Structure 1
Amino acid sequence: MPALSAVLVATAALAVLTGCSSAAGTDAPRSATPPPAATTTATTTTPAGASRPVAAAARPRPAAPTEVAIPSLGISAPLMTLGLQADGTVQVPPPDQRATAGWYTGGAVPGEAGAAVIIGHNSTRYGKAVFYRLKDIATGADITVTNARGQATHFTVTAVDSVSKKSFPTQKVYGPTSAHALRLITCDGAFDAAGHPVDNLIVYATQT
């Protein structure tokens, strides 16, 4: 696979969103390109006996994820796809779909090298949401992501962090990594004058 250091994450922009009383906010990269599909080379021999490299077929990316589950918290939720908004910040699931989390398509596909990012609401104006209990997750907990082919990939939680939205660690969350990594993001912390949480909760996990 090409070096992941070639994947660029541009300067972050603070998302202006409606908070976890109505939506989950993240500080997101303006651009994040998935690693290109890997190619391999094989060696073949010409009739004259000389060897020459022949490009093999590109290795397909894993199927898109469709479900995330955290058994220790009783969480099991479908996944929608999320892209970028016009201002370059990452989309979040609509507030009225509070039971659905979203996979950011600009990151890695769960199961391949790189950082896969899943975002879900803590709560919305419609009530408690998919990641309401995410703050209770423990280091070592299992997170299972199932894809469109029914294949399950397991991740183990390595760290949990609560950070101010004003100092969101964009590079750490979205930046290139050779690990098969997963990040879950939701809202956290106290509320500002407008009733929106001022922090994000970030769960870091690696493939088991």
Structure 2
Amino acid sequence: MIITGDDPKYIAFVKARICDQFLMTDLGPLRYFLGIEVSSTSDGFSISQKKYIHDLLARAALGDERTVETPMEINAKFRPTDGDPLPDPTRYRHLVGSLVYLAVTRPDISYPVHILSQFVSAPTTVHYCHLLHVLRYLRGTITRCLFFPSSSSLQLQCYSDATWASDPTDRHSLSAYCVFLGGSLVAWKTKKQVAVPVRVLRLSCGLWLC
């Protein structure tokens, strides 16, 4: 059980009442929980998954120490038929699943994780190469974290963007958004749109289709 709040006396009161009813051990301030590291100061607190990334890189067993500057190559387009099918997709699925959980504190990999997740049923050598690209990016940015300042305002700000028919297979667009509460990033998502954008087309019979 995690108890949070800004009133130390009331927190101590709640813990004492819970201890009266249940067998409980007080582990002190939250520092590590399910692979997520929490660090707090008078300026605010930060959450990261540095140890989780170290463990992920160890499981991936990359054969070099290279790093890259971006989580995915610019303007990269992926199709299910690119490359040769992997003989055993288990490793790909395991690593992509780990990246999905890592995106809890790393919004900068939200887009590539969304893309790579689409091929877990039948990944290819091309998809696996781009998966390794994400891992090399994480190796070079392992200390990045989310910071939540204690002096942040309560003003909500939302930013969104979208591509136009960017999926080379089904021509669906991608939407993305992020939400800030003051200076704190509290929500983000990348998602493929349901509808297919349609341009104005002129048919051979002279009619116009929108």
**Shorter-normalised TM range:** under 0.3
TM-score normalized by the length of structure 2: 0.23
> Based on CA coordinates, which of the two structures has the bigger radius of gyration?
2
Q: State the TM-score, normalized to the length of structure 1.
A: 0.23
State the structure with bigger RCO (CA 8 A, min sep 6), 1 or 2. 1
Higher strand share: 1
